[in-house]
Amino acid sequence: MGIKRRKFLQLTGLTAAGTMLSSCGKGTEKLIPFLIPPDDGSIPGVANYFASACRQCPAGCGILVRVAEGRAKKIEGNPLHPVNKGKICARGQAALQDLYHPDRVRQPMKRVGAKGSGEFTPISWDEGLSLLLEQLNDLKKQGHADRLLFMTPRLQGTLSELVWSFMSVYGSPHHLAYEMLNTESYEQANVAVCGRGDVPDYDLEKTQYLLSFGADFLETYLSPVRYGNAFGKMRQSRPTIRGAFTYVGARMSMTAASADRWLPVNVGQEGVLALGMARLILEQGLYSREMVKNVEGNPEVWMKKLSDYDLHSVAERTGLAPEEITSIARDFATIQPSLALVGDSVVFQSNGQDAVQAIQFLNLLVGNVGQPGGLLFCSPPVGQGSTSSFANLLSKVDALERDEFHLALVYRTNPVHGLPSAIRFQEAFKRVPFVVSFSSIMDDTAMHADLILPDHTDLESWGDVVPWVGAHSQVTGILQPVVNPLYDTRSFGDVLLAAARGLDGEGEKVLPYKNYLDMLKQRVQRLIDGSSDTASEKNWVEILQRGGLFEQEEAVLDVPQKKGVSPVPVREPYFEGNKEAYPFHLALFASPVIYDGRNAHLPWLQEMPDPMTTAVWGAWVEINPKTAESLGIKHGDLVMVESTQGSVQVPAVIFPAIRPDTVAIPMGQGHHGMGRYADKVGVNPLGLLAPVMDKEHVLPAWGATRVRLTRISDKGDLTVMGHPEGSYRGELLEI
């Protein structure tokens, strides 16, 4: 034998080391990098935690990312962050799969096939940027700068500033920050009732009686982790008090499942219930005298205004028993502090604005506004960009139809999937000659693009996040790259700054930043002391370690200043489709798992059972057992759901907790594109929605569509994790 034992061990040692190294990817082929520790100070086998912020939904929680050997391993909540307090939801944790998604756009791409075919060819960043600049400069040279449309979600902080400055330098007023689950309606109502245009925070933790009108605050509404945490405290953290919770709505959502009492009210009559309760509270003199004085109200005048809302007619309109209404009205007024929330299923009705105002009036009446355990209006968050109005969206669609836009930039929003086709956006959008997408995954909108300049994913980016609600103090979460970019992608901020520099004109003067990080640091310094210097390195590192700027002192609570408030009658809701041909209300709801569809490409979430139905990998329609029986529909059957607008085929789930005259479908599935885990999984129900709106306030009514059901076959291709019959054997577990 030529090999001695010593030689053999040396060889195997080297081979083993070589194998380990070769599995580490780029840049570590040689032995040297392991003998000399890497620059970032990481030690093999020891994990580091980096603080950052979550952008999976607008809540803006703080996160800690566990990084080992240069790779992100796990996302945990940041305990220092005042919004989520160390907790994080399923969607936030799944952002890891956003980073490591196998179907990410790995370099800039140029369309080669027909529009919408999804055929692209990789190009270099130089070519990509010059294509973008060519388009921008051409348009500007022709004097048509206003033919640029910029579509984003509601932006925050530095990004909001950047896009605003870019658009003003370029000379186009057409920045559309609109997504389907828009908060415009709440803001309008709050102005009318409380005199404040921002979304208030709800102090669930301290409340004793919680009444939710369709607000799914534990799953998708505003800030689910914050409210989930507060809900736990409301229930069990006080020695002698267990906060009570009643839910009003046509469908039992995951949030409603946690309620002590579920009241399946007639669709669109939530506002009537609120006014009926208000009248009972006035009649019995249970209102807050102090609040009446504050707003200079007159209970006698209010009583007269509510003359149509006597118990009998309210019971008839809402479909609830009179005893139920009196008991919740009494509880709401006498168990203090109490709190009424209002959510999307109420807001998106043709009388949604009236209902929100009625419910906020109810809060006002018993003194819930501005008191602990109630609605809190704090100093408005600095850096929260504004959302576009529905009217603005409609005018943009009209302009698209008149071919007024020659160039569209789309960042972090997926309107081709996420807007109801009834407003004709999708067809109109196809007319734009040149579309640039900054998406990091080939989503439905990117499929229609001509140029894709892929952004980093959140875990590779710099950025700042201003939480939507829930911070009683000024909070800005800072996003930092926790791993090196995996692919040849570039930060959207840097690309836009480069574009501004390349513009013929004043781009450089208005946006004089070296890069996006520089701009971010300057903004942070402004937040700290109002100066325009870049944050000093020491400060900056400390902020990064904490995960952002969290001003800890309790903010002053504002008591409503608006005088002369009075209840506004609730109009009868309008529904599209007549009752005979289309007998069922269609309730679309944001999926607790994939929200409005932005998280549909993440396999952990696709395989996480929907809480109420335990369904995975798809969409379904929820039908009351009696209704299903009368139509001959069984669990898992394929059903056609038709409205005046269109139809979808979707499996049926027999759902015991939905009104017999209502059916519900989750939003978010049915993508065309968005990677292997979302593409053609389930159906997108937005095509069913009729273009009903509240004409007076120009607000959409996505809950105002009626549908009919037809059984097609028994092959619905429904996958549920729970056994349909086992679901009814709770007594086995003694719960």
Quick one: 88 or 215, whose CB is closer to other proteins?
Answer: 88
Q: In the structure encoding, which two tokens stand for residue 184, read together?
A: 């415009």
The secondary structure of residue 495, as a DSSP letter, is: H
Closest CA to 704 of 212, 389, 268, 343: 268
Query: Between 352-365 and 270-283, two packed helices, what is the crossing angle to 10 degrees?
Result: 30
664 vs 674: CA distance, rounded Å: 24
Q: Is omega for the bond preceding 337 within 30 degrees of 0, making it cis? A: yes
Judged by CB under 8 A, the residue of 603, 646, 687, 691 near other proteins is 603
> Which amino acid, 370?
G
Quick one: 93 or 414, whose CB is closer to other proteins?
Answer: 93
Judged by CB under 8 A, the residue of 254, 267, 503, 667 near other proteins is 254
At 358, give phi and psi (nearest 5°).
-65, -40
Ranges assigned E (strand) in 16-115: 48-53, 62-68, 71-77, 109-111
Closest CA to 255 of 241, 267, 240, 245: 245
Quick one: 519 or 674, whose CB is closer to other proteins?
Answer: 674
Q: How far is the CB of 118 from other proteins (least distance, A)?
A: 19
Quick one: 6 or 729, whose CB is closer to other proteins?
Answer: 729
Closest CA to 450 of 438, 439, 435: 435
Q: Are 624 and 656 in contact (CB under 8 A)?
A: yes
617 vs 630: CA distance, rounded Å: 28
Quick one: 218 or 347, whose CB is closer to other proteins?
Answer: 218
Closest CA to 653 of 616, 598, 690: 616
Site membership for other proteins, residue 178 (CB under 8 A): no
Site membership for other proteins, residue 583 (CB under 8 A): no
Q: How far is the CB of 15 from other proteins (least distance, A)?
A: 20
Quick one: 71 or 490, whose CB is closer to other proteins?
Answer: 71
> Which amino acid, 507?
G
Residue 438 buriedness (CB in 10 A; 0-12 / 13-18 / 19+)? buried
Judged by CB under 8 A, the residue of 90, 167, 544, 698 near other proteins is 90
Q: How far is the CB of 523 from other proteins (least distance, A)?
A: 30
54 vs 674: CA distance, rounded Å: 20
The secondary structure of residue 467, as a DSSP letter, is: -
Taking residue 733's Cβ as centre, other Cβ atoms within 10 Å add up to 6
Quick one: 498 or 593, whose CB is closer to other proteins?
Answer: 593
What are the distances in angstroms from CA 274 to CA 184, 186, 365? 21, 16, 11
Site membership for other proteins, residue 680 (CB under 8 A): no
Judged by CB under 8 A, the residue of 1, 32, 112, 732 near other proteins is 732
Residue 407 buriedness (CB in 10 A; 0-12 / 13-18 / 19+)? buried
Distance, C-alpha 472 to centroid of its chain:
21
Judged by CB under 8 A, the residue of 366, 586, 587, 605 near other proteins is 605
Pattern 193-232, other proteins, x by CB under 8 A: -------------------------xx----xx--xx-xx
Site membership for other proteins, residue 489 (CB under 8 A): no
Q: How many residues bind other proteins (CB under 8 A)?
A: 84
Q: Candidates 113-121, 269-277, 506-514, 607-615 — which segment interacts with other proteins by CB under 8 A?
A: 607-615
Site membership for other proteins, residue 485 (CB under 8 A): no
Strand pairing category for 375-376 and 338-342:
unpaired
Quick one: 388 or 669, whose CB is closer to other proteins?
Answer: 669
Quick one: 93 or 156, whose CB is closer to other proteins?
Answer: 93
Quick one: 275 or 602, whose CB is closer to other proteins?
Answer: 602
Pattern 445-484, other proteins, x by CB under 8 A: ----------------------------------------
Q: What is the dihedral of CA 116, 121, 125, 126, to 10 degrees?
A: -110
Judged by CB under 8 A, the residue of 12, 117, 121, 236 near other proteins is 236
Q: Are 338 and 286 in contact (CB under 8 A)?
A: no
Q: How far is the CB of 610 from other proteins (least distance, A)?
A: 9
Quick one: 563 or 715, whose CB is closer to other proteins?
Answer: 715
Pattern 652-671, other proteins, x by CB under 8 A: ----xxxxx-----------
Q: Which of residues 29-68 bind other proteins (CB under 8 A)?
A: 45, 68
- In 412-457, where does DSSP find H-type helix? 415-418, 425-429
- In 387-515, where does DSSP find H-type helix? 390-401, 415-418, 425-429, 492-502, 507-510
18 vs 5: CA distance, rounded Å: 20
Site membership for other proteins, residue 735 (CB under 8 A): yes
Q: How far is the CB of 231 from other proteins (least distance, A)?
A: 5
510 vs 520: CA distance, rounded Å: 15
Site membership for other proteins, residue 510 (CB under 8 A): no
Q: Which of residues 262-291 bind other proteins (CB under 8 A)?
A: 262, 264
Quick one: 185 or 229, whose CB is closer to other proteins?
Answer: 229
Q: How far is the CB of 47 from other proteins (least distance, A)?
A: 8
Site membership for other proteins, residue 681 (CB under 8 A): yes
Taking residue 187's Cβ as centre, other Cβ atoms within 10 Å add up to 18
Q: Which of residues 325-384 bind other proteins (CB under 8 A)?
A: 335
Quick one: 125 or 604, whose CB is closer to other proteins?
Answer: 604
Closest CA to 94 of 444, 458, 479, 439: 458
Q: Are 62 and 54 in contact (CB under 8 A)?
A: yes
Instruction: Mention every residue, 6+ apart, whose C-beta is less than 8 A from residue 377.
Output: 194, 196, 198, 200, 201, 369, 370, 557, 558, 560
Judged by CB under 8 A, the residue of 110, 115, 144, 261 near other proteins is 261
Q: How far is the CB of 461 from other proteins (least distance, A)?
A: 17
Quick one: 106 or 514, whose CB is closer to other proteins?
Answer: 106
Q: How far is the CB of 97 from other proteins (least distance, A)?
A: 7
Site membership for other proteins, residue 27 (CB under 8 A): no
What are the distances in angstroms from CA 49 to CA 20, 33, 150, 467, 538? 23, 22, 36, 22, 19
Pattern 612-631, other proteins, x by CB under 8 A: xxx-xxx-----xxx-----
Residue 261 buriedness (CB in 10 A; 0-12 / 13-18 / 19+)? middle
Site membership for other proteins, residue 75 (CB under 8 A): yes
Quick one: 553 or 731, whose CB is closer to other proteins?
Answer: 731
Q: In the structure encoding, which two tokens stand for residue 51, read together?
A: 């603080």
Q: Candidates 5-13, 274-282, 344-352, 721-729 — which segment interacts with other proteins by CB under 8 A?
A: 721-729
The secondary structure of residue 276, as a DSSP letter, is: H
Q: Are 216 and 398 in contact (CB under 8 A)?
A: no
Quick one: 228 or 560, whose CB is closer to other proteins?
Answer: 228
Q: How far is the CB of 593 from other proteins (least distance, A)?
A: 7
Q: Candidates 76-84, 447-455, 472-480, 666-674 — which segment interacts with other proteins by CB under 8 A?
A: 76-84
Q: How far is the CB of 323 from other proteins (least distance, A)?
A: 14
415 vs 388: CA distance, rounded Å: 14
Q: How far is the CB of 200 from other proteins (least distance, A)?
A: 21
